[in-house]
Structure 1
């Protein structure tokens, strides 16, 4: 993802579209492949998702923690207006008297050095302490249970009672509990709160009600109902919307977040595992804060929970070329890990693979088991680098990492990178370098207009099948209208047609929180109480839930260029799946010839996503564009009329069809009627 969504950067990318076409390094030396009459095997991992902590996607979003700045680690480095007590309010209730301060002496763990000290000078009934406003308020629901926890210690040997409350936005008490803090060393204290009312913008209050001095850190509040009921888990409705996509893989943690804004800001996976107090919080490259509560273990666990393969992306030992805001002046701020430190860094990448796949008798496999997962996470892919400037320093370091992984873990596919645009210097040099090393797959990125996607439907037809394959890691058509979504759908038919060379593809970004968006467009918008999938989301869902293992050409015939199509067959079920995209304003006839397929049933279903060209889903009207499903009777040869501005999926059942596994295990309002 580009370092800034500013108009200047978009202008620069627009100018990039005037550059020459695809690199000579990945053009095929032969004619474009025609549509095949026989089936062509294609990637069964084709459609997945890309998660980056941008737009408050993690803290305040998918990560279910409800307390903001729980460890008092916010600084002006995160945001110029922030400090250790951002999102906290000092409370003196009743006739309480005392002081509050932020301290660093003998913290719970050096990785989280700040904590709050409450010094209470008199006995009272109400108390002296703190109120947290969460991320735009703390949403609570009547009758649900919430797990409160805190690390605390007392000074002077005297027990200090804590009063813990959930309050509504008017200050009314919804739940209350007491905790006696009585140990002079740091200890965890926990209690469950059950509110009697519902409020989307409540608060958490923690006050000391007895005389004495108490230190507090890692003040946390989690709903018990996380996705799959995981501790330290994911927000249930948001995670379910992602699960309902049924992605084949999840790329994480970024994006620009992975290689960071300077060497000290690179995302180092070892800093994100283990007990929460041991994890290293840091500034988010998108100008907020990341707690690392959602870390590598949680990413791997989430992938497993939704039936998707993990695809972690590690820095290629260089930071983002836009580090320090150099995109503003057109320079390069890429910084490189010193060559003397590269053996240690290469080992860090190898340790990641061991953490994911190694036996419990291995060093890092044992750490995975200690976290509660003795079984392997079955890691198959590792991305190295993200949109990196093709400098000699990058190439030298990438090669060291690539060679080491290839030698020790030939079962893992390394994915390289060829810059942030579909053409240009980095693209050309990146492809040349990838082919020199015989990197098995490279990561292409581009954000373009919907017209670009419609005009470039044949982009991958002429890619050389003997060279590196493609992971289209980030793409979007710069908008969330139905027309944007249909332009992407039209392009996705070409990804299916070229599913032998395009092995993976993921729209980006995935999530954006209302009022905290650094980048548009996004696939799913949300606030504290509502999840709003876009028209683009439903396109991704329809393709992902209707993937195939073979592509067949010549099955669908249309006379108008506004209609593009694809035909795939799912070898597991025997189903034949047709996709028709009509990006035009008038209905269009399409001829379908299924005569080559044997043992098909006449029973089928048709799923349609259609509406006015500029229709879009909003928080006020989240169901404006949703798929609609109806039964359909297919024959060996039939005509179909594609509605204006529509994506149509026709799924014809094979005679040996078996019930399709739904890894989402349930549906939500966010999933509409898409898929099966």
Structure 2
């Protein structure tokens, strides 16, 4: 109803010239033929993933407790307690002086109860800047505890930190001097009005006076996407799934590489029970629990129906990115253990059930059958160390892995101009830039040689409108959120990718998620908090292009060339559904009419999905060029239907600064 009102208001504003002077839209002729020029690969649209902006821990990974196992912290420091706070005067500290829950988790929470106290006393976790409490959900919780000086009951609850309202509670008994895991559920019958809620643990002060109680490895999970154990947050997962991605590149990105060799992402430390995962300091300034590990990523890709693109560590850390750094690249004579580690990872993923120790280990951890795996990406952004990559690192990984897995295909991560041995057949290309770059780059593959080399546009986004910026820098004119202008520019580029998808076999918008309370990069395709989700204009472009896919590109006359500015387009046909799609980006400031004609009959009606102005925010009287926390639905796609009188031609007006997908029923 809100958007109906906005559309009516828009019509009135246009009528009275509020948007500017009324001009007759210019017209272009476009003929779409039945000639099919390119087969569109099923892998064309997807996402690049790494844990940045709390996108994993605190985001897609559904765990609700922050700093749940005191991983990557220094015992005895106040910083080690982030996410935790005392309740009613308990003394808290993180310690490694007592044996931890496991060898992987040496740190514990020591809770000391004062000698003269009555009533409930304990501690609480504030979640990832809040905890969503939803009526009808069942929350699964657990923690380990031990004490030699206390044997009474422990109370766990979900409680409002502002009003003290208790939404659900459980009383637990049986603590003793050895670690014991307590597992229980919360079933709140009231939805909290906000996310200012905590996970609270208390004891009766009169029973616990002077006692020391140790706790470790906490967990609190809401229901997850498709009911996966240790799985994904439902609203974020559903938003990804709604775009129908067909590739999922993981685990990064910079977060694959580590700040040093030893702090790289280690696949074998991200599998098995969460008690056995030590976690690490990630590359984006916060600890990673690695609860979202290799098997979780692979299950997630399966749930999406997406092809995994597995990144493997290739001998450099992010310290090598700086020209001033003295941190070494792994020398050639020390590289073999890392190559062997990648081979073991692939065996773990792909070996038939029961055929090897690694296959049996995979089954032990819950997955009997192998996963499908085709693409291996060797490193990440190795253009920062091209000499060693070309001299020996690329060859070492590709030669050894292909000898054991001849069916795999490899992606290089240097500049396309870097000569490699063996020559690369697929390359990962990244670009963050201003809108004009994307306008121009819509044609970068039109004349690319068809020599068997294929591109993965593994990271791309409009990040700024300041042409003087270093666009790799996080400061300097960066957009806070994706704008409509940027989304239209990205769509223009995407028409070129799809039109040339015999060369561009896959793409991945990046970064994916941004927690609004702790982020290191902007803009991002979706922003969120503990209880909210904001889909950007760029998100809707990804959804419009990915969810409306043809199987072959159709020839158009004129071809989409630089002469068409500010209009960009691609036409395609789906031979399974007999639908035709025309995707059009108008990056200009005026409406443009296309006189469309066809050399095949089209059905009697068509549908349109349009992402366009007016960016008039609800009841505000001000303009918004992006979806923001204040105006999360300022720019959303609008669907409509239209009649087609002549089955061989009609005209259609594409609004200024817009992205449109027309869907037609055809006979080709």
Instruction: Please name the residue that 1:166 is paired with.
Output: 158
Moved more, 486-495 or 542-551: 542-551
The question of whether the paired residues in 1 share the 8 Å contact of 2:81 and 2:94 is answered with no
Q: Which moved more, 1:135-144 or 1:551-560?
A: 551-560
- 2:469 maps to none
Q: Which residue in 2 is equivalent to 1:524? A: 526
Residue pair 2:254, 2:380 contacting (<8 A) in 1 also: yes
For residue 545 of structure 1, the aligned residue among 543, 547, 561 is 547
SS of equivalent to 2:396: helix
Report the counterpart of residue 623 of structure 1 in structure 2: 633
1:567 equivalenced with 2:552 (yes/no): no
Q: Is the 8 A contact 2:416 2:427 kept in 1?
A: no
Asked if 2 retains the 8 angstrom alpha-carbon contact of 1:163 and 1:177, the reply is yes
Report the Cα offset of residue 292 of structure 1.
Answer: 0.5
Q: How does 1:98-247 map to 2 (within 5 A)?
A: 102-120=95-113, 126-155=119-148, 159-170=151-162, 171-195=164-188, 196-198=190-192, 199-209=194-204, 210-211=207-208, 213-223=212-222, 225-247=223-245
Q: For residues 165-564 of structure 1, what are the structure 2 equivalents within 5 Å?
A: 165-170=157-162, 171-195=164-188, 196-198=190-192, 199-209=194-204, 210-211=207-208, 213-223=212-222, 225-322=223-320, 326=322, 330-332=323-325, 335-361=328-354, 362-388=356-382, 389-395=384-390, 396-418=392-414, 426-429=415-418, 432-433=419-420, 436-478=421-463, 479=479, 480-554=482-556, 560-564=564-568
- Report the alpha carbon displacement of residue 121 of structure 1 after superposing the two structures with TM: 7.2
The verdict on how the C-alpha distance between 1:81 and 1:36 changes in structure 2, with shifts beyond 3 A counting, is: farther
Structure 1 position 105, deviation (Å): 3.1
CA contact 2:154–2:173 (8 Å) conserved in 1? yes
Q: Which residue of 2 aligns with 1:637?
A: 649
Is this contact kept in 2: 1:300–1:310, CA < 8 A?
yes
C-alpha deviations, 1:571-623, integer Å up to 9, x for none? 3222211111111111212133332x47x543431111111586211122121
Distance 1:505 1:40 in 2: 17
Using the TM superposition, give the Cα deviation of residue 416 of structure 1 relative to its aligned residue in structure 2, in angstroms.
0.9
**Equivalent residue for 1:83?**
79
Measure the CA separation in 1 of the matches of 2:497 and 2:542.
Answer: 12
Alpha-carbon distance in 2 for matches of 1:160, 1:384: 54
SS at match of 1:651: strand
Q: Is the 8 A contact 2:144 2:217 kept in 1?
A: yes
CA shift digits 1:172-211 (9 cap, x unpaired):
3222111113354323211111234413110111123344
Per-residue deviation at 1:103? 3.0
Give me the CA root mean square deviation: 2.6
Report the alpha carbon displacement of residue 294 of structure 1 after superposing the two structures with TM. Answer: 0.8
Provide the rounded CA distance (Å) in 1 between the counterparts of 2:62 and 2:119: 29
CA apart distance, 1:99: 7.3
**TM-score, length of structure 1 as denominator length:** 0.83
Secondary structure in 2 matching 1:144: coil
CA distance in 2, matches of 1:186, 1:564: 63
Matched residue SS, 2:70: coil
How do 1:568-647 and structure 2 match up within 5 A? 568-595=572-599, 597=600, 601-612=603-614, 615-634=625-644, 635-647=647-659
Q: 1:417/1:125 Cα in 2 relative to 1: closer, same or farther (>3 Å)? A: same
Measured after TM superposition, the shift of residue 387 of structure 1 is 0.7
In 2, the alpha carbon distance for the partners of 1:514 and 1:578 equals 35
Equivalents in 2 of 1:544, 1:517: separation in Å? 27
Instruction: Give, in whole Å, the separation in 2 of the partners of 1:519 and 1:36.
Output: 44
Deviation at 1:560, TM superposition (A): 4.8
Length-normalised TM-score, structure 2: 0.84
Which residue of 1 is the match for residue 474 of structure 2?
none
Q: How much does 1:411 deviate?
A: 1.7
Contact kept, 8 Å, 1:258 with 1:267, in 2: the verdict is yes
Q: Indicate how the Cα distance of structure 1 residues 106 and 459 shifts in structure 2: closer, same or farther if over 3 A, else same.
A: same
The unaligned stretches of length 5 or more in structure 2 are 1-32, 464-478, 616-623
**Distance in structure 2 (CA, Å) of the matches to 1:240 and 1:364:** 32
2:262 is paired with a residue whose SS is helix
Q: For the residues of structure 2 that align with 1:575 and 1:339, how far apart are their CA atoms?
A: 53
CA deviations 1:100-137 (Å, max 9, x no partner) are 66234321212111012335576976344321111112
Offset of residue 244 of structure 1: 0.8
- The Cα shift of 1:281 comes to 1.2
